[in-house]
Every structure is written in C-alpha cells, then in structure tokens.
Chains A and B, each alone.
Chain A
Amino acid sequence: DAGITQSPRHKVTETGTPVTLRCHQTENHRYMYWYRQDPGHGLRLIHYSYGVKDTDKGEVSDGYSVSRSKTEDFLLTLESATSSQTSVYFCAISELGIGETQYFGPGTRLLVL
C-alpha cells in the first residue's frame, strides 16, 4: 500500500470554525489531490498540487484553500466550515499527474454541526 496518512480521521466541528485536514505521504510523489465524497456524487476534486507551493482548483473548490510547503504534506483548510462541507475527504497522490494511477489515503470523516 502507498504510504499515505490523513489526520484527523474523524472530526466534529461547529459551523463557522476553521478546520485543517492534513495529508502526509512517504512516496515522494509530485502530485497530491484532495477529493470529497458524498452519497450520489462519487468523488469530486477540490484542489490539487503539482509541486511545492504549486496548487490549482478543482471542480468544487469554493470554501476551501490548500497549502503545500513540503513535498510530503498537503493541507486542506475550510476557512469557515458550513454544514454543506460535511463529507468524507480523501487525499490522493500520483507520480506523474497525467491521469495515471492515483493512490488514496484512508479518508477523514468531517461532520459540521
């Protein structure tokens, strides 16, 4: 299995509070991605990174920001959490970033009350 960890694995927070999710990889892959998974929607891309300090928006980026200061870490921040951001968040990594295989972390289950 690819070395990908996510923290925290579960979080409950209140509307309006900031939340940061962390993805850590030990594979030295260049590309990292954040997806959210919701019933009936599959996985949707939030943001991705193609290198240290290089990031871009995905399909559902509103309300989220990301940062990548080291190759191994990719942070997802909800600046002011809303109930619509209750979801399961998955981090993924890939080596070449050209649509080839992505490897997924175990996920973070976030509940915004």
Chain B
Amino acid sequence: AQSVTQPDIHITVSEGASLELRCNYSYGATPYLFWYVQSPGQGLQLLLKYFSGDTLVQGIKGFEAEFKRSQSSFNLRKPSVHWSDAAEYFCAVGENQAGTALIFGKGTTLSVSS
C-alpha cells in the first residue's frame, strides 16, 4: 500500500534563510507526487507536481522539489523564505490507476521567524 511520511512535524526557519521540507513515499512504481500548501483557515493550494521527466520541478511562489527514486524522496525546497510562507505543507502521492485518491502525509508546519 502507498504511504507518505513527512518526518518533521514543525520547522522554524529565519526569514531569508533556505528551506527544505522532507517527504518520503512508499510505492512500487513511479508515483505521481505533489506538494500542497495550506494557510490557516484555508483550503489546500497546489504548489507543484511531478508526473515524469525532469526530476527537478518548479512550482509557484519560488518553490521547487526534486524526485529521487533511489531515496524514495520528494523534498521541497526554497532558497529564501518569506514570512508569508508560514503555513502547513502537505506531500501527497497518487498512482496511475483509475479511481484512486491521493494519499497525504501528515503535514509539516512551517514557522518563519524575523
């Protein structure tokens, strides 16, 4: 069965510092991988996704993620964090099979200190 692990429940980063949020997945084939962001009281917004091809994907708001098959990872990065990036981040995995839903990690809460 698919699973997604986000090892860090809460991370605090200084404004302007770099950010890396970790995501590990368990899936037999090449999965579809996603990062979503949720601001307090809001729904989930898609940051970026990986289906195939180039393993480094660019997303919105200056985020990028790298798919590493050998490590079963899809870590999210941003070179310089802004205070407005404080939110909860979810990694999710989907499979290429009709009728399947996404499997989400439990989320990482990002706090940004000034």
Contact = CB atoms under 8 A, between A and B. Distances in A.
Interface residues of A, number: 25
A101 interface: yes
B106 A106 contact: no
Interface of A: 31, 33, 35, 40-45, 48, 50, 56, 58, 90, 97-107
A58 B105 CA distance: 16
A43 B98 contact: no
Sorting the interface of chain B by its residue count into under 10, 10 to 19, 20 to 34 or 35 or more gives 20 to 34
A84 B75 CA distance: 33
B97 A99 contact: yes
B100 A99 contact: yes
Given A41-B106, A43-B104, A58-B101, A99 B44 contact: no
Contacts of B49: 101
A32 B46 CA distance: 17
A42 B104 contact: yes
Interface string B66-99: 0000000000000000000000001001111111
Contacts, number: 63
B43 A90 contact: yes
A98 B98 contact: yes
Nearest to B102: A102
Given A43-B104, A50-B99, A105-B43, A99 B31 contact: yes
5 contacts: A35-B101, A90-B44, A98-B96, A101-B34, A103-B46
A100 B101 contact: no
A41, A48, A104, A105 interface centre (most CB from chain B within 10 Å): A104
A60 to B, nearest CB: 12
B42 interface: yes
Given A99-B101, A100-B32, 20 more contacts: A41-B106, A42-B90, A43-B44, A43-B90, A50-B99, A90-B43, A97-B100, A98-B95, A99-B94, A99-B96, A99-B97, A99-B102, A100-B94, A101-B34, A101-B49, A103-B46, A104-B43, A106-B42, A107-B42, A107-B43
